[in-house]
Structures are given as C-alpha cells and as structure tokens.
Structure 1
Amino acid sequence: MFEKILVVANSGRMLARSALYIGLKPIVIDVFSDEDTRNLAYDFCQIPTLSLDYLIPSVEAFLSRHNVSHFIYGSGFEGHHDSLAYLNERLKVIGNQVKTFITAQQKVTLFQVLDRFNIPYPLVSFTQPQVDDLWLIKPLFSYGGVGIKRYLPGDEVNELYYWQRYQEGTLHSVLFLADGINAQVVGFNTQWARSADRDSEFIFCGIINSCELESTNKQTVFDWVKKLTIEFGLVGLNSLDFIHSKGQNYFLEINPRLPASMQLYGSNLLNNHISACQGVLEYNPIKNLVCRAYQVIYIEDDIFVPQFIDWPTYVVDVPAVGVLIRKGQPICSIIVHENNPQLVFAELADKQQQLITNLKGPNQDGIQRKPQ
C-alpha cells in the first residue's frame, strides 16, 4: 500500500478527508482552497482552474518533492479531459481511466447506448428543436447542473451545447461500486437543485441518503447500472442521476468519478473504491444507516470573509480568510444527520437560516458585507 496519494478536484475536501481516514497522506490540488481542505492536506496547492496550464506545474512540483505514485479525482474534469489524460500518464489512477471517463460523457455515443439498452431518457436534440415544448439548454460537458437553463426563443446556442426536453419529477441518484463487469449498490439518494433564477435553476444544491421509491423502481435503475458498467468498463465508485415521474424513471447522466454522495455512507468508502478498482467488490451495507444530508449554502450578497470566524461544527467547505464570495456563489456547505428524512430536512432548513441570518447581520460572527 502506498503512503501518499494525489487528490485533484475542484474541491478536494471530501477526498482528502476520506484519504486521511484510511491512513493515507493526501497531497491536494484544488480550485476552491477551503480552510478545512488545507487543514486536512499533507501538502496543498490552489490553482485557478483544472486546465493544463495550471495543473502541470503544480503536479510536477509535487512529484519533485513527494514520493507519490497514485491519484484520485473528483468533479471538475468534465471540461478538462486533456488534464485528466496528463494525470493518467504521470501517475496511476485509482478510478476510471480517462478513456472511460470521456466515453461515458460523449453525449451522442451515450444516448445511442441508452437506446440500445432501452433505457428511457428525456428527448434530446443536437439541432434547434421546434419550440412547442419546454426545452433545456445543456452543456456537452458539465457537472452539478452548471450551465443548464431553460431554452427561450432567441437564445444563442453554440456547438458546445445540446437541447433536452424538460422533465418534471423528483431528482435521484444511485451510488454504486463497480469492477468493470459487476456492480454493487451502495445507496439510493434524493437530490435537489438551487432553483433561484433562470441561470441557477438546475445547479446542484443538496443530497440526502434517503429515497422513497418502490423497490421495483430501484431494481430498474440498478439494471441500468449493471448494463452501463459492462458497456463502459466502469470501476470504483460512480453515481447515476435519474428523474422519477409518475411511476417512470428517466436517465439523466452518469458520473464516472468519485461523487459527493460518498460522504453520506460512512468514512470507509475510499477503501471500497480502491478494492473495486482492483477487481474486488466488498462493500458491506451499514446496519442502521444514519439519515444524512449534504447541502451547499449559496450567498445572497457579495461578502468578504475576514479573519475571525467561529464556524459551527456542522459547516464544511469553509472559505479561506480574505476571500470575496460573489452573489450566487457557494460560501460553505452543511452536513446534518437525524433519525429520519423529515428531521433532516427540518434541521437543514434551520441551520441554513441561522447561517443566512448571521451573514445578513452587521458583521455578525465575524462576517462582513462587501464595502460600498
């Protein structure tokens, strides 16, 4: 077993914590540079984006001073395939190979595969549709709902986007382990989006490790997972997003990398991920799993984060001192757990309101608004 591991993601906090839990020293490269990520990292580097221009110098600097041979990655590479390919050449990936990652996201290929397996999904179009239904504009390569919005006549849409018909329903995901041939469900989840305005209506906001769908619906989705695991050769932890409406499931996307939902199922999942990448599926479901949720808090006004802040213990992804958080951007996240989903949602609402109230107050809890 190796001693150190390189973690690369837009936000490396979750993966750094997971690595530490199983005894690894996380060498972290990320974009957000949150305080808790820095505290968890054995060594750390912030870069503006995951593009090659920024990534290569950081990786090479780490390789020159650390004996690190393996890496794991989270969200952010959806628009930086060349960066993932570079990492794949310099180190050994614990997760899906770059070819698998790209193929599973190539939309034309993906929808052809779904058609072949008779997996339903909301109608898509790669040419401008007739505006007689509700359509969405979606980036070809994105994550967390970023860039998705309702299509309006007159919108300029370039070749980096496609159209998909809007489908009402409840948003869900399934977290699963795979070894390239077989798959094992870790858990079904319910998700929700920000829904603040047209540009942020579909941006990921939160997820809970609870899903009230019937077992037959869950089995249908797991059947999709098994087929797609073999088709794409998926390994390790992955997730599949879907919408449920009036007894019908609709495929949305597959995330062939370590997803946010893994932090809802105990602290040992990175060990299971490593084993699955080595061909061994050994996840043992947690008995009496605590109902847990993760929610992103988006700020309503521009604020600076000053030096002295006493963040509550349920807050994660804590911003660094001096950072300017722009209106509509995430300032932090909260993780809560209770005995049932109803209590969890009540707790989320309460904690979020406490934070927002403090943020709106005049310099409450050390947080101040942007000077006028």
Structure 2
Amino acid sequence: MQPEEAFDIAVVGLSARALVTAARRAGLRALALDLFADADTERLAAGSVRLASGRGLTIAADDLFAQLDQHIGPNTPVVLSSGFEHRPRLVERLAGRFPLMGSDARTLRRLKQPRAFAALLGELGIPHPRLFEEEAPPGVPALAKRIGGAGGQHIRPARRVRGRKRYLQERLEGRAVSALFLGDGRSARLIGFSEQWCDPAPHAPFRYGGAAGPIRLDAAMEHAIADAIGRLTRATGLVGLASADLMVNGANWHLIEVNPRPGASLDVFDHPPLPPLLRLHLDACAGRLPPTLDIAPSPRAAGLLYAPAAFTLGDVPLPEWVADRPRPGTPFSPGDPVCTVLADGESAAQARAAVHERAHRLIGQLVPAGGTAT
C-alpha cells in the first residue's frame, strides 16, 4: 500500500485528538500528527505520529515536513488545528506541498494580526474592543495579549505593553461566548453558540477552562452576529470551520477574535443530530455550504483538567467521559493540562456543572493514585 493510499486525511495540531474524533465520526481514515500522541488519538486514528517540539509549545517545522513526506503522498488533504495561528509562513509552505483544507496564510494574517484585524472590523462596522499603542487611557481597563496566542494563558491585565509580539486591548465585561460557523470564502453558515469559562491560575488569570453549549442569545443579536460573520468571511476569504469569540453584555456584543480553524467547539457540537462537522468543513473548503443548519445537538460541556500539583499518572483506568487520555507514567507539573472532561446535561449550564463535579472528583483520585503531590 502506497503512503497516499493509507490515509484519507492528515490532521495536524498541538493536540489532534478532537480532529481525529471528528474524522472517525465522518468515516475518514486519519493520520494524526501532534505533540502528544495520547492514548485516545492513537486508538481513534488510522496512524499516529508524535511530532518534535520547537521552542516552547510549538511544532518543529522540519520534523513536521519530514513526517508528512514519510507518511502521506502529495495528494492527501491536510487539516490544521491549533498551533498555527502565529505561523502564516509555515501555513504557506504547507499549502505549497499538500492540499491544505482550511484558510490560507493571507486570511490568517488578516485575522490574527491585531491591528489589521481591528482596522478591518472598523471598516465593516463590526463592534470590537479598542487597541492602544503603548498605554491605556486613564480609567480604561486593558489586557496585554500575545499576537497569535491561544488558550488564554498569555493574557494579563495591564496598563501598558511593549514589544512586537504583544498588544494592548481594551478589557470588556460580560459573558464569553463563541460562535461556531462555516465559511466558503464568500458567505457563512452559523452552527451555534457556546459559552466559555476561565480556569484561573496564579500567573494566568484568563487560562481557558472549557465550553458548554449550545446556548441561545437574543434573536436580534444572533441575527446581527451571523450577518457580521458573513461580511467578515467575504472580506477575508475564510473557508471551513471557524469560531468567533465574543463578549456579550446585556444588549451589546463585541467581536474579540476569530480562530479560522476547527477547534475546541468540536467536542461540544460534533454529535447528532448535526451531520459530521469535518465533512461539512471539507465541503465548505470546496465551496459548498449546507443550505441551512437549523438543528441543534443536545447540551454538552468539555472542560480542561489542569494538574493542581506535580504528580505522575498511575496505572488506573480513566472514566469513559475522559478524552485526551494520557498514558500511565506520564509526569505532570503544576498547571499542565491533564485531560479533557466531558459531560451531557439537560442544559448547557447543567452540563458545565457536571464537568466541574467530575473534574474535582477525578483529580482527587489521580493525584494520590499517581504519585506524590508537591
């Protein structure tokens, strides 16, 4: 069997498990390439490769190309997840070698360069937080963020910021809401809304905690957001699955950022009665959007479980509601992500409460069972 015949698709990211799960549901044989190659990814994928890491939590480009050249042919579609937001040149190189199913480097630059993005939102009349050059005006709360950052760990309250890799954004109050949608470069289809929460740590007060959905907003607000997403899709050429992060406060909403890739929302939305979302992603990349998506899955929540102390995972069975399962013997430092905790409920709020309860119970079992907390 030739390499290009072994896999229908290759999925790449810091963690590829959510995309591999989506590929399995879509009936696709996936090669997963990520930094963890955890037990779930290996079980669900047709092939799993653990990539070498670069500086910090990044994918080493040379190893990525070497592994892709070894395992797939030039006609195998490639789908990217997290880890490429701040690397448009790498995305450009990948698109030059393989059929890249997702937004291109030009779109990434327009959406992930904060000043260009804010200017575009201003031109389109889409409400968004202000950016400040070096210092926030007196009395205006602000946040320092890293360009291309993800997961919330890079965000800090700040009055001023310096350096090319960080920017200063007005801090808005309200509910953190994410809109999952599909784009074909010309128009968009809204899939649904979820609500996000933070899991603060001493040096990361806005660390991503999880998401629960679907939720509903005021009908007029949903229509306005869908319209804004459609106009933004046309302006940037965005294709495939993407998410728009919003801050909602009463009757007001602001668009904070757009992640032009499949992301954490897959865990919340990719189940019946919705069709397989990765199939919809591939169709959208080919210019085909579904006529309507007026259906919603049952409420579900997905939360990240972080290590509260240093420990080593013991040889203990993990519950069926755990995803991103680490292997026995994996060491964790305080603050490391351990796994994803899933829960269903009668409402998004109930599912979220169930995730919190399960996470609390699970970490109480894992730390003493796996080793000595420090």
Tell me the TM-score normalised to structure 1 length.
0.91
Shift of 1:314: 0.3
Shift of 1:126: 2.6
Aligned to 1:269: 277
1:9-88 matches, cutoff 5 A? 9-47=13-51, 48=53, 49-63=58-72, 69-88=76-95
1:152-231 matches, cutoff 5 A? 157-197=162-202, 199-231=203-235
Q: Indicate how the Cα distance of structure 1 residues 210 and 17 shifts in structure 2: closer, same or farther if over 3 A, else same.
A: closer
Q: Indicate how the Cα distance of structure 1 residues 132 and 284 shifts in structure 2: closer, same or farther if over 3 A, else same.
A: closer
Aligned to 1:238: 242
Task: State the one-letter code of the partner of 1:11.
Answer: S
Match of 1:313 among 320, 323, 337: 320
Give the Cα–Cα distance (whole angstroms) in 2 for the partners of residues 297 and 345 of structure 1. 13
Q: Indicate how the Cα distance of structure 1 residues 347 and 45 shifts in structure 2: closer, same or farther if over 3 A, else same.
A: same
Q: In structure 2, the residue corresponding to 1:104 is in which secondary structure?
A: helix
Shift of 1:342: 3.6
Q: Indicate how the Cα distance of structure 1 residues 332 and 286 shifts in structure 2: closer, same or farther if over 3 A, else same.
A: farther
Instruction: Establish whether residue 118 from structure 1 lines up as the match of residue 125 from structure 2.
Output: yes
Task: State the one-letter code of the partner of 2:347.
Answer: N
Task: State the one-letter code of the partner of 2:244.
Answer: L
Shift of 1:235: 1.1
Shift of 1:169: 0.6
Superposition CA RMSD, Å: 2.1
Match of 1:105 among 112, 115, 122: 112
Q: Indicate how the Cα distance of structure 1 residues 288 and 243 shifts in structure 2: closer, same or farther if over 3 A, else same.
A: closer
Task: State the one-letter code of the partner of 2:42.
Answer: R
Shift of 1:67: 7.2
Give the Cα–Cα distance (whole angstroms) in 1 for the partners of residues 74 and 104 of structure 2. 22
Match of 2:306 among 268, 273, 298: 298
Q: In structure 2, the residue corresponding to 1:82 is in which secondary structure?
A: helix
Q: Indicate how the Cα distance of structure 1 residues 283 and 309 shifts in structure 2: closer, same or farther if over 3 A, else same.
A: farther
Q: In structure 1, the residue corresponding to 2:33 is in which secondary structure?
A: strand
Gaps of 5+ in 2: none
Question: Contact (CA 8 Å) 1:238, 1:254: kept in 2 or not?
Answer: yes
Task: State the one-letter code of the partner of 1:368.
Answer: G
Tell me the TM-score normalised to structure 2 length.
0.90
Shift of 1:41: 2.0
Shift of 1:38: 1.6
Give the Cα–Cα distance (whole angstroms) in 1 for the partners of residues 306 and 197 of structure 2. 14
Q: Deviations over 1:112-153 (max 9, x none)?
A: 111111212122113233453322101111112231111157
Question: Contact (CA 8 Å) 2:310, 2:332: kept in 1 or not?
Answer: yes
Question: Contact (CA 8 Å) 1:234, 1:256: kept in 2 or not?
Answer: yes
Shift of 1:210: 2.8
Question: Contact (CA 8 Å) 1:175, 1:261: kept in 2 or not?
Answer: yes
Give the Cα–Cα distance (whole angstroms) in 1 for the partners of residues 348 and 139 of structure 2. 38
Give the Cα–Cα distance (whole angstroms) in 1 for the partners of residues 218 and 60 of structure 2. 42
Shift of 1:287: 4.5
Q: Which moved more, 1:125-134 or 1:347-356?
A: 125-134
Task: State the one-letter code of the partner of 1:320.
Answer: R
Aligned to 1:356: 363
Q: Indicate how the Cα distance of structure 1 residues 324 and 46 shifts in structure 2: closer, same or farther if over 3 A, else same.
A: same
Q: Deviations over 1:240-290 (max 9, x none)?
A: 000011321011000111121123223411111111111111265474621
Q: In structure 2, the residue corresponding to 1:181 is in which secondary structure?
A: coil
Give the Cα–Cα distance (whole angstroms) in 2 for the partners of residues 79 and 116 of structure 1. 23
Q: Which moved more, 1:105-114 or 1:53-62?
A: 53-62
Instruction: Establish whether residue 345 from structure 1 lines up as the match of residue 352 from structure 2.
Output: yes
1:146-157 matches, cutoff 5 A? 146-151=153-158, 157=162
Give the Cα–Cα distance (whole angstroms) in 1 for the partners of residues 300 and 103 of structure 2. 27
Task: State the one-letter code of the partner of 2:255.
Answer: F
Q: In structure 2, the residue corresponding to 1:27 is in which secondary structure?
A: strand
Shift of 1:339: 1.7
Q: Which moved more, 1:134-143 or 1:50-59?
A: 50-59
Q: Deviations over 1:176-223 (max 9, x none)?
A: 1111111111101111111233x3221221111132421111112111
Q: Deviations over 1:47-95 (max 9, x none)?
A: 22313233222222223xx675210010111133332222111110111
